[in-house]
Amino acid sequence: MRRVVVTGLGPVTSIGIGKEEYWDSLIEGRSGISHITNFDTEGYTTTIGSEVKNFDPEKYIDKKEAKRMDRFAQFAIAGTQLALEDSGLDLDSIDKRRVGVILGSGVGGIETLEREHTKLMERGAKRVSPFFIPMMISNMGPGQITMYYGFKGPSFTITTACASGNHAIGESFRMIQRGDADIIVTGGSEAAVSPISVAGFCSMKALSKRNDEPEKASRPFDKDRDGFVIGEGAGILILEELEHALNRNAHIYGEIIGYSATSDAYHVTAPDPEAEGATMAMRLAIEDGGIHYELVDYINAHGTSTYYNDKLETMAIKKAFKDHAYKLKISSTKSMTGHLLGAAGGIEAIATILTIERGIIPPTINLETPDPECDLDYTPNEACTMDVNYALSNSLGFGGHNGTILFKKYKAE
């Protein structure tokens, strides 16, 4: 099997655009959560979210083209541009037939769907934009990227709710391993801080109602957590076959060596009460990587700040790692970024690979009152330094979809 490395990073998040601003915010424990500005939240039980601030699509896309893209596709293009610049790839010298684009998105262009449906109801069918369909469909993240850069390899979207980003990265890893591509642009993009999305999650009682303290609302593993905080943005990575990267003297952040996807087969929204699917996802990713579980140093947890997720992910870690669970460093960066749904795996993979490269564990902020059912080391409130050789990133989605990726510190052999 061919080896797969990470050579470019492009986060677009509420706590920073670009890897350095994003990373600095993570290790400083800076929250990006505030009151929603995208729409009027009067009448909503939750009025807070994690929006990307000061995002100007025209920095990345022609003004006319930007107007014909939903916000999630704009994020995808911006993250790709950042990741490609970071990778140092010379786009004029590579074989674009060997470059793919595989992204995750949970809901695609839902903001466009809402806007055009309102036009239909209020002004009639003839007022619906001719750009509605190509703006709304979720495959247009990868589609726009391929057209923008001329990449002609495999291109598609994976939609598995909150596991979408991890599944996209994992399937990209597999395709490069098999020889289907040499380079894949991957990760996730989402722009779901919209009226109907927030209303739907409010009706499910899934969102935090800590509206008076937005920055403290996302508090994974804390006893007083009361729901997740919805976020938006993109996390784009450049995956590359090792020899291809070495031949161009690329900077290598780290290596992907394992991946797994499992299903709970239990409930549309609730996780399996025995945490079997999440446990199996971690075990299989470690097995795929060919290492012993006691070699894993760090887990970037799914850690949504909901009662059941945090309790059951903790249970899964204990089942997968046995006594070693208490020696692991764990953190949930959602405490700062909120939950980006289909893009969560993308930004969290970036956090994980930087953790390995830089030897700093980002904290789980707002962990003030430990939950007795969540009794592992979640790196509370302050970052810490540690040599990390192997790390997992977990994503667990509605519908019982689980995805785990195993990263390794890169060492030339």
Which domain does 348 fall in, by range? Answer: 1-400
Active site residue 302: yes
The answer to whether 253 touches 353, Cβ cutoff 8 Å, is yes
Q: Is the pLDDT of residue 412 over 90?
A: no
Query: Which DSSP category does 203 fall into?
Result: H
Residue 367 inside a domain? The answer is yes
The Cα–Cα gap between 404 and 413 comes to: 25
| Pick from 254, 228, 225: nearest CA to 239 | 254
Closest CA to 2 of 251, 249, 172: 172
Rounded mean pLDDT of the chain?
98
Name the one residue in this structure whose structure tokens are 């809901």.
Answer: 107
Is 310 a member of any domain?
A: yes
The residue behind tokens 């990778």 is 87
Cα torsion 105, 344, 53, 33 to 10°: value is 130
The one catalytic residue in 167, 244, 339, 401 is 339
Task: Point out which residues pair with 186 in neighbouring strands.
Answer: 102, 237
* Residue 345 is assigned to a structural domain of this protein: yes
**384 catalytically annotated:** no
Predicted local confidence at residue 44, as pLDDT? 98
What's the pLDDT tens digit per position in 87-138? 999 999 999 999 999 999 999 999 999 999 999 999 999 999 999 999 999 9
**pTM for the whole thing?**
0.98
pLDDT tens digits, one per residue of 259-304 = 999 999 999 999 999 999 999 999 999 999 999 999 999 999 999 9
CA distance 215 to 148: 36
Distance CA 340, CA 328 (A): 25
Specify if 32 maps to a domain.
yes
| 187-221 residue pLDDT tens | 999 999 999 999 999 999 999 999 999 999 999 99
The model's confidence at residue 1, banded by pLDDT at 50, 70 and 90, is confident
Is 245 a member of any domain? yes
Q: What dihedral angle (degrees, nearest 10) is formed by the CA atoms of 67, 69, 71, 73?
A: -150
* φ and ψ at residue 35, rounded to 5 degrees: -70, 140
CA dist., res. 16 & res. 25, Å (int): 7
Q: What is the pLDDT of residue 399?
A: 96
Domain count, the chain: 1
412 in a structural domain: no
Task: State the catalytic residue, choosing from 162, 167, 202, 401.
Answer: 162
Q: Which residue has the tokens 């800590």?
A: 210
Whether residue 202 lies in the annotated active site: no
Which domain CATH number covers 199?
3.40.47.10
Can you tell me the distance from the alpha carbon of 108 to that of 279, in angstroms, rounded to the nearest whole number?
29
Q: Which of 167, 244, 302, 401 is catalytic?
A: 302
The answer to whether residue 411 sits within a structural domain is no
Query: pLDDT class for 253, splitting at 50, 70, 90?
Result: very high
Give me the pLDDT at residue 413, please. 72
Q: Which residue has the tokens 């969560």?
A: 344
Q: Is residue 212 part of a domain?
A: yes
Q: For 160, phi and psi rounded to 5 degrees?
A: -135, 50
